[in-house]
Amino acid sequence: MVNNWGSVVFIWVSSIMCLICVSLGYNPVDDYLIDCGSSTNKSVGDRVFVADQFYFNLLSTPHITFANASSSPNSSAYDPSLFQTARIFNETSYYSFSVNKPGRHWIRLYFFPFMFRNYNLSTAKFSVSAQNFTLINEYQPKVDPEVKEYSFNVTSDKLVLSFTPFANSFAFVNALEVFSLPDELIPPGAPTIGSQGKYQNLGKHALETVERLNMGNQTVSPLNDTLWRLWEADGKYLKHSNVQKFVSNVRAVNFTKGKLTENIAPSSVYGTATILNSDPDPQTNANVTWLFDVDPGFEYLVRFHFCDILPRPAAKFFFNVYIGSSAVVQYLDLLNRTSDVGVPYFMDVITRVSVSRMLNVSIGPSNNLLYPNAILNGLEIMKISNSMDSLDVSDSASSKSSKTKIILIAGLAAVFFIIIVLAVVIFLLCRRRRLADLNHWNEGDTIYTAGSKFSNGTLMFSTSKFGYRFPFVAIQEATDNFSESLVLGVGGFGKVYKGVLRDETKVAVKRGTSQSQGIAEFQTEIEMLSQFRHRHLVSLIGYCDERNEMIIIYEFMENGTLKDHLYGSDHPCLSWRQRLEICIGAAKGLHYLHTGSTRSIIHRDVKSANILLDENFMAKVADFGLSKTGPEIDQSHVSTAVKGSFGYLDPEYLIRQQLTEKSDVYSFGVVMFEVLCGRPVIDPSLPREKVNLVEWALKSQRRGQLEEIVDPLLEGQIKPDSLNKFGEIAEKCLAERGVDRPSMGDVLWNLEFALQLQGNEGRSSHNGNIIEKFCRANSFETDVSAAQVSMGDLAGVSMSKVFAQMVKEEMSIRDK
């Protein structure tokens, strides 16, 4: 009875929405509705499809054929009268539409094959293109009515739509729509899953609507949509039928409190939802999954529509969103995104489908929640045009004559053979040269190429798996026998030296100690650095494990650490724009670690001393000795002993010993305030209320007085909007609970937005010439020597000893 009443309410509200659409519908600047092959106009709702004989000036065709169906299609969510006539093209024909408003336009093409005299429209084979985009290639119509929907940017005052029949065939179309879209409907870009925060530029691409679903298993007809879209019921796409419930609460939808309009999606979409059914098992970890058949070899824009319409306990609920096995967002809190219940919200991401024809979308509960739930109100999947400006899968494997194929295959085989021969020759020459170079090393030095052993007999790494193993004598030569004058820095693992290889390549050489903990860090760092390659992660060049040595060789970073450019040295001071760009670079590196593989990588030691700067001040994350593989997809955290650097440690990780990607987010938030204030994280020389940077900065941020703690050397450089956005995301990173912190992808997006808000002021030239101010040397350093050394690595050090050391330092300062 309840379900029936819900259906009645939905139909009643939908009817009202239909009337609203009639009176308040979207009025496009450019609007062409053509009933092809018809001699009379047709009214569909509040729209009029004009007979194309009245649009004769738009069409260029050498031959005109009108066709009429003897009967209407059996079933269609669109008005069946639009499928009863058709225009047939025996040769290439063009529609040319005048465009008054450049920008993204929609094209809808209506197809329904029927018999007309000597024409059997089901045998048609043709292509359709618009501007420079191929919309359909080698198209053969289905038996049932079909509406294909495309959008793309129009930059000129003309939009040309062409129909090209194949040889001995013809083309046809029953009806078509061309109209301009609201500016807010399609964003200029969207983040790509697993591509380190990369934003795809959608402006240069065409889109094809593949799926548009209304969750809650209710169909929304074009008459109930301001943009005349069809929203299919989601029930037939569900992978399982027993893990979800359909709910409806249209009255809870509130557009006035948010920034969206019904042009994004109507109330009838946001007012229904498919949710996780946790009633049988309140502790369920099941996901609600939808399966879609898509064309491989394309990228897809996936839009998730959310609206919190659920009555539930006062406690918040969080949930995860997935595409395939990749997490789009974890611990999604709709209330945090929208600030109130019933406010619509949508999220765009781009994913690539390479081989499989199946695209899976899932929602599921976040772990360790008292009330597990998940919700999705609507979903849109749009195919993105490929590098050939095509939306048709056949263009990735266009048919050619058998002779052309044979020539192409033979040519490729010949080229492939030549490449193999050249590769073998180059390999032999390089090997010969390498052996010749090695002969120059001291005769007494042994080089292990198949693997090396420590004194305990443990086999380390094979050369083939982890890159080039350097002989110890080569490293001695590169560092002038580890000269103290070449020391770049000292960390918990050991000293870092500047080195120069025989080919004049500058390198950084990290030489560790032989402690058991050092061996573990050595192995971890080599594994991590050899596993990943990213422009914002320091690159591994090689390593050496001869003579029980633990040496890692990686690329030399000309400008040292971010920390050195903030305080405690005489380096030139970084401008605000440079600091933002450095934060963005580091965020990209961390985002790649978190999302660049099936299992995320948690850095676990994010700090300003581990962010290095190259000659152009581009940031790269370094020091992966403490890194840890993240949790499995069905787990919320990794339980592990606490390691990291004091002042940067996630308090939740410190207390619970439960490590997540959000632990890196917390540490990065500390770095952000360090960048803004230009001072150490812990400075016992300052007054008590300023000793802890995080506490001091958060108090100022929450009072709305963040400008009071900005590095004095940045005075007059920061625009207020940029500062506010920077402080806002830093505060979110430092939330006490990990679930309340943003992902690194969200942090990256907000930092890039802060950079946009800053505008072109203080734009760095990337040539090393920055403003003529210098960081205050030792201005924040305490006179107590113990304080200078106790704030470094805490890997393996008990927290009780750390706090005891802090008390000791504070007492020493008071005594002075």
Of 396 and 32, the one with more pLDDT: 32
- What is the pLDDT, as a whole number, of residue 28? 94
pLDDT band with cut points at 50, 70 and 90 for residue 575:
very high
Q: Looking at residue 260, which CATH number applies to its domain?
A: 2.60.120.430
Give the confidence band of 355 by pLDDT, cuts at 50, 70, 90: confident
The residue ranking higher by pLDDT, 20 or 319, is 319
Residue 238 falls inside a structural domain: yes
pLDDT of residue 405: 58
Q: Is residue 452 part of a domain?
A: no
In a domain, 533, yes or no: yes
Whether 159 and 195 map to the same domain: the answer is no
State whether 165 and 197 are in the same domain.
no
pLDDT digits (tens, 9 = 90+) for 144-185: 899 999 999 999 999 999 999 999 999 999 999 999 999 999
Tell me, yes or no, whether 568 and 664 share the same domain: yes
In this predicted model, which residue has the larger pLDDT, 542 or 113? 113
CATH code assigned at 566 = 1.10.510.10
Give the separation between CA 79 and CA 582, rounded to whole angstroms: 56
| pLDDT over threshold 80, residue 435 | no
What's the whole-number mean pLDDT along residues 347-373? 85
Helix, strand or coil, per DSSP, at residue 346: strand
Question: Do 631 and 755 lie in a common domain?
Answer: yes
What per-residue confidence (pLDDT) applies to 111? 96
For residue 397, pLDDT over 60 is answered with no
Is 435 inside any structural domain? no
Of 56-65, 260-269, 326-335, 778-787, the range with the highest mean pLDDT is: 260-269
Alpha-carbon span 101 to 435, nearest angstrom: 68
pLDDT for the residue numbered 186: 94
Q: Is 605 a catalytic residue?
A: yes
693 within a domain of the structure (yes/no): yes
- For the domain that residue 480 is a member of, what is the CATH number? 3.30.200.20
The Cα–Cα gap between 603 and 744 comes to 12
Report pLDDT for 463: 41
Residue 645 pLDDT exceeds 50: yes
Give the model confidence (pLDDT) of 509-540 as tens digits. Answer: 988 765 545 676 777 777 777 777 788 998 88
Same domain (yes/no): 91, 194 = no
**Across the chain, what does the average pLDDT equal?**
81
Residue 788 has pLDDT above 80, yes or no: no
Of 633, 615, 144, 133, which Cα lies nearest the Cα of 388? 133
Residue 802 has pLDDT above 90, yes or no: no
Secondary structure of residue 696 in the 3-state scheme? helix
3-state secondary structure at position 306: strand
Residues 53 and 80 reside in one and the same domain = yes
Domain-embedded: residue 445: no
Place of tokens 């399966």: 291
Instruction: Give CA separation, 432 vs 427, 446, 466, in Å.
Output: 8, 18, 21
Q: Same domain, yes or no, for 549 and 566?
A: no
133 with 204, same domain: the answer is no
Specify whether 716 is located in the same domain as 574. Answer: yes
Q: What pLDDT shows up at residue 407?
A: 66
Number of other CB atoms surrounding residue 513 within 10 Å: 14
| SS3 state at 91 | coil
383 pLDDT above the threshold of 90: yes
pLDDT exceeds cutoff 70 at 367: yes
Class of residue 605 by CB neighbours under 10 A (exposed 0-12, middle 13-18, buried 19+): buried
Work out the average pLDDT over 9-28. 51
Which residue is listed with tokens 């889109």? Answer: 207
Residue 79's domain comprises: 31-180
| Per-residue model confidence (pLDDT) at position 730 | 96
Q: How many domains does the chain have?
A: 4
Residue ending a domain, among 143, 162, 180, is: 180
Residue type, 305: H
In a domain, 354, yes or no: yes
pLDDT of 250 strictly over 50: yes
* pLDDT mean over 273-301: 88
**pLDDT number for residue 657:** 82
CB 510 within 8 A of CB 592: no
pLDDT at 24: 52
Domain end, chosen from 324, 356, 384, is at 384
Asked whether residue 677 is assigned to any structural domain, the reply reads yes
pLDDT at position 449 over 70: no
The helix (H) or strand (E) run that includes residue 97 is: strand 93-98
pLDDT at 97 over 90: yes
Task: State how far the Cα of 584 lies from the Cα of 592, in Å rounded to an integer.
Answer: 12
- How many angstroms separate the CA atoms of 601 and 621, rounded? 13
Residues 30, 52, 395, 605: which is the catalytic one?
A: 605
Write the DSSP symbol of residue 784: -
| Domain end (from 740, 760, 780) | 760
**Is the domain of 574 the same as that of 511?**
no
User: Does residue 96 sit in the same domain as residue 198?
Assistant: no
Which residues have a Cβ under 8 Å from the Cβ of 735 and sit 6 or more positions away? 666, 741
510 belongs to an annotated ligand binding site: yes
pLDDT given for residue 763 in this prediction = 53
* Domain match, 551 and 570 both: no
pLDDT at 761: 62
pLDDT at 794 over 50: no
